[in-house]
Chains A and B, each alone.
Chain A
């Protein structure tokens, strides 16, 4: 590659990534040269400014036609822009939660590491959403995963945190290996790692053996990736990791990392398998022929997540199972493959981002103050901090999908997508609605603590400004997108042109 080709690329479409990369590097250098005694909080604000700059540059890229550089390994289409938007907003808020984190032990001395690893993880997620090639896709995935492993173990002297990191590394590596193995089959069949070329090549395969191999690859990739989503039956790591990791990391895993998981699953499944024949008589594409397996995964995830959550007393474990259940709802979107798929996924991930991060900001503050993570810590919160209790109640109601909140509109959109096809997914929708009712039990359980139980101590709750910001933004967004969801839908319709360029 000579300099001329290198310069001819339109590097501008990578601006957000470059900003994040630059900030991550700068943070690590700053951390190195800062005196040990100085608080690392400032790094958090620098990181926040970096994410904000990336967000602004990304907004400038909206409307940019599909473009790919570096031999099709990096592509910018409306799918990439729309989902990077979620990643950046989510990360910015997680960073604010992290700035407001005042740990009793651990994190304090490693705070610098926390911030630049966090940026690296975000960079990985962004690369994933913009990949046009299996190699970059995989590198992005690994960058995200490895950074997350370290982040989970950040509370170095805490037993739970160590357990969490260990479990995460082992389970995560196995899952990645399986995904990679699956990808290797596809590579073997097509001789290329480029998604577009692969898709073109696969339309013309007819040998039954090859189709069979491709099916095998499909299953391996899905299995490996459902680990990232914490979808059942590959969810076992989530509760332990969520419980042990520092709360900002838990928030990151449950929102940003999960969003990245959905991004990669969409990229791979709909690029590679959308055009491949399934070998049946009607000439269905493979992805439609195997749709039922994703539906099964979605159903199992919703049932397991919601039922096991009923038994949890630890609030972080409770939210781990809740996030498993939410992943199940999102899988319904993928399983139903309707014309609303991208909209529904984007909207629900956005709604989930706000309601979950808002809840985590509150959880962090409450559990940190008392040092215990039992849900009884929420007892009498309404007496001690009415605003906090009402905000938490609204986040919980939104997670439970009660009207008036963004979560309800998101669910409505999912139901619609699942019922629109001629063969409606009635079973899946019924499972989703029934398990939603089950989820009332544990979400309302937290509310019963907050509103009905007497407070153990009557001390007023004082919240750091960073957390107040996160809670305020989340609350406003949860209610706004619940009452006037058209703001989001119009934005989506007006700027991303139905995501038609995804397949170009």
Chain B
């Protein structure tokens, strides 16, 4: 098997779909939807092949690709400095993220069946978004990472602004501005690193920043390193989102079409966590250690703030939006703990919340399709009208609140285990959040399933055939991780070792 372009093909395979779509008449609804769905499959198949090969013991290094791309200045004088390569590569962590992205993209393409207009434009942007997301995780240098990161921005803006609900344009703009500022801050950090070290390769940067006697083009002081880490924290904090930077994300969750929210909550938010772990911890390990306490505090704040606000919402989408904020707190808690259990918990939470959020938002799409509402009150009594959907909703909520045997439990348990080791008092106050999670989720979900019925469910069909696919896949994966966590933990072993080595744990 020739692996030379394996990753490039994986990342750019959705482009093929864009190409095919561009030659199709815009009125062929079902054909466009089919092509859009099929175009997500190559990436899914390839990423699964990579995953199973890796589980079977194959090394990921053979997938690395490197082609020289841009050379700034005179290469005769500067040698390898200031050159940017097109380089893709994977480690265990990014492999998992790619599999997650590919799975959720395919499922979101199925969920896109609810899209009502301009299918052609929708799927072209959707596939472009997928390219961006896959590329972010495969990029081996910061500039390439940034390019893919920005590529996710533009399609998302249009997908929210054109296919969303009533206040879609406001939501799109607030998405653009918050994320634009976030990526602006990120770009400053990237450019400072690149200009002062002459390289953008992540491994080379890790080595250069942590060497005792680094070879740099221009000096980087300790204060500057701290400044850059804080800037990274802000940049990825917008994405994650961390407490004071979250308002855009609530708007997007409420206004965007459910299929896009599946990707947004499932993958895009996770880029924040991915970036913090990969770059924050990887490139600035010393500084990261001194900020760890603050991260844990921010994590607990996120957890509690999200949970309390989720409790008072009347719209189920709002409950889920704040629940996402709350759950991202657990990622921060895990990172703040700065030990193996904590970091592993954080990564588990990234994956697990991606799946759970996608499941719940898919179900929101199912309701909305039938009732044009998502308020808890108006959906009351669902268990009578749509028993199967109500059952899955309950399952999703259980996973989200961390019922043992499901993925949410594993991640929360490990993250808190990590934090209890380091900062027991903070961890103890954080557990209030766990209780609150159960409270707000049960309130919302029980309100929907067994609440007082405000409508007549006659003539409402329960889940259709195609709607079962995403739900069953997602529930299956959630339970799989819950009962057999080593599907995640084994690929992560080597990544975790590297990280722990860096922070001296």
Contacts and interface: CB of A to CB of B under 8 A. Distances in A.
Contacts of A409: 70
Contact of B150 (A343, A402, A430, A493): A402
B162 A451 contact: yes
A424 B73 contact: no
A490 B187 CA distance: 25
Given A422-B219, A424-B218, A433 B188 contact: yes
A412 B143 contact: yes
- Pick the most buried of B74, B150, B218: most chain A CB atoms within 10 A of its CB: B74
A486 B191 contact: no
A489 B70 contact: yes
A440 B180 contact: yes
A410 to B, nearest CB: 11
A20 B147 CA distance: 42
Given A424-B218, A444-B176, A493-B74, A430 B151 contact: no
Contacts of A426: 188, 192
B195 A403 contact: no
A317 B154 CA distance: 25
Contact of B146 (A403, A421, A436, A498): A403
B161 A437 contact: no
Contacts of B421: none
Interface string B67-81: 011111111010000
B73 A486 contact: no
A486 B177 contact: no
A403 B74 contact: no
Given A402-B150, A419-B196, A434 B162 contact: no
Contacts, number: 96
B121 to A, nearest CB: 8
A308 interface: no
Interface residue tally on B, bucketed by range: 35 or more
B192 to A, nearest CB: 6
A491 to B, nearest CB: 12
A437 B70 contact: no
B284 to A, nearest CB: 18
Contact of B191 (A415, A434, A436, A452): A415
B224 to A, nearest CB: 9
Nearest to A435: B184
Contact of B75 (A340, A419, A429, A493): A493
B51 interface: no
Interface in A396-426: 397, 402-404, 408-409, 412-413, 415-416, 418-422, 424, 426
Contact of B180 (A382, A437, A486): A437
Given A416-B191, A433-B187, A421 B162 contact: no
B273 to A, nearest CB: 22
Main secondary structure of the interface of B (DSSP, over half): helix
B69 A486 contact: yes
Contacts of A343: 72-73
A404 B151 contact: yes
A419 B191 contact: yes
A436 B71 contact: no
B316 interface: no
B252 to A, nearest CB: 16
B49 interface: no
A441 B177 contact: yes
A418 to B, nearest CB: 8
> Residue among A339, A403, A424 with the most chain B CB within 10 A?
A403
A448 B147 contact: no
Contact of A452 (B162, B180, B218): B162
B236 interface: no
A441 B180 CA distance: 10
B82 interface: yes
Nearest to A498: B74
A78 to B, nearest CB: 13
A403 B181 contact: no
Interface in A327-352: 339-340, 343
Interface in B139-155: 143, 146-148, 150-151, 153-154
A485 interface: yes
A437 B181 contact: yes
Interface in A447-504: 448, 451-452, 485-486, 489-490, 493, 498
A426 B70 CA distance: 24
Interface string B375-386: 000000000000
A237 B212 CA distance: 55
A424 B188 contact: no
Interface residues of A, number: 39
A403 B151 contact: yes
B195 A420 contact: yes
B191 A412 contact: yes
B146 A448 contact: no
Nearest to B154: A402
B158 interface: yes
A436 B148 CA distance: 18
Interface centre among A421, A422, A448, A490 (most CB of B within 10 A): A448
Contacts of A437: 177, 180-181, 184
B157 interface: yes
Interface string B163-205: 0000001000100110011001101100110111000000000
Nearest to A434: B184
Contacts of B196: 419-420, 424
Contacts of A340: 72-73
B382 to A, nearest CB: 34
A409 B71 CA distance: 11
Contacts of A433: 184-185, 187-188
B217 interface: yes
Interface in B8-22: none
A420 B217 CA distance: 8
A484 to B, nearest CB: 8
Nearest to B196: A419
B158 A451 contact: yes
B147 A403 contact: yes
A383 B188 CA distance: 38
A437 B77 CA distance: 35
Contacts of A485: 70
A429 B188 contact: yes
Interface of A: 339-340, 343, 382, 397, 402-404, 408-409, 412-413, 415-416, 418-422, 424, 426, 429-430, 433-434, 436-437, 440-441, 444, 448, 451-452, 485-486, 489-490, 493, 498
30 contacts: A340-B72, A340-B73, A343-B73, A402-B153, A412-B143, A415-B187, A415-B195, A416-B194, A416-B195, A419-B191, A419-B194, A419-B195, A419-B196, A424-B192, A426-B192, A429-B191, A430-B188, A433-B187, A437-B177, A437-B180, A437-B181, A440-B180, A444-B173, A448-B169, A451-B161, A452-B162, A485-B70, A489-B72, A493-B71, A493-B75
Please list the 3 inter-chain residue pairs (A to B) with the smallest Cβ-Cβ separation, ordered nearest first. A419-B195, A403-B147, A415-B191
Given A448-B169, A489-B72, A493-B71, 20 more contacts: A402-B150, A403-B150, A404-B147, A404-B151, A408-B150, A409-B70, A413-B72, A415-B191, A419-B192, A419-B196, A420-B196, A424-B192, A429-B191, A433-B188, A434-B184, A437-B181, A441-B173, A486-B69, A490-B71, A493-B75
